[in-house]
Amino acid sequence: MNALKHTLLTTIIICCAFDIQAQFSLGVRGGFTRSWEEYGNVSLPDDATIHVDRLQVSGLVYYTFNKYFSIGIEPGFVQRGAACVPGFNGGGGAFVGDTKFLLNYVELPLMAKVNIPIYGKLKVFGKAGYGIARITSANLETAFLGTDQPTIKRPLDLDTDNRYRKWDNGLYGSLGFSFDVGANQLFVESLYYAGQRDFDTSFTSKNRGFHLGIGYMRYF
């Protein structure tokens, strides 16, 4: 009985200490995103540019367990896409002109974060996670290189054309530096996204992205 009381008391003390250390934090991050798609074994033209440069903004909601570890969600709006899309204007996987996917998503990744103090209030951190995304709009933009024909931009009909997937899911990984000022934190972060589904089911077209952003967090 005494051993049971001792174990129970120890558990309560540990839980109380854990609750004292744990805290919530809210923040925002925004910046530049370079997006492309993994085309698989499709042959690319010489010096082909397959990426598009776009924007991303995310909210951050984290639960901090201690000074080293936290988990959170990062709901956001991200502009993805790709250039030199195969299969348009030529068929058979050929590249003709410069055709781009311009895709807008809302996403919800779940992230685990590890902080490592470096010096004073300066820290390095890493994140890893998994998330889902839902497309909100999509456009196909075609430029006819070497001609006077104007660039054509048209929306993709995601409701009637079953070749395009509205949902995506993928893996996230990031590395960054942060600096604490009281209950506030400023940080810079680089993040990589690897989608696991093909956007266009007629060929390999998995979303990829590299995001470089700055952000602010507030601890509560």
Query: Quick one: CA dihedral 194, 198, 200, 202, positive or negative?
Result: positive
Give the separation between CA 119 and CA 172, rounded to whole angstroms. Answer: 27
More confident residue, 116 or 22: 116
Per cent of the chain over pLDDT 90 is 67
Element (H, E) at 124: strand 122-143
Q: Is the pLDDT of residue 16 over 70?
A: no
The string of pLDDT tens digits covering residues 74-114 is 999 999 999 988 765 444 444 456 789 999 999 999 999 99
Element (H, E) at 18: helix 2-21
Query: Using alpha carbons only, what angle is made at residue 13 by residues 12 and 19, rounded to the nearest 5 degrees?
Result: 90
Q: Is the pLDDT of residue 14 over 60?
A: no
Amino acid letter for position 46: D
Tell me what the pLDDT averaged over the chain comes to: 87
Q: Is the pLDDT of residue 2 over 60?
A: no
The predicted pLDDT at position 202 comes to 87
The predicted pLDDT at position 21 comes to 54
More confident residue, 6 or 169: 169
Element (H, E) at 29: strand 23-38
Architecture of domain 22-219: Beta Barrel (2.40)
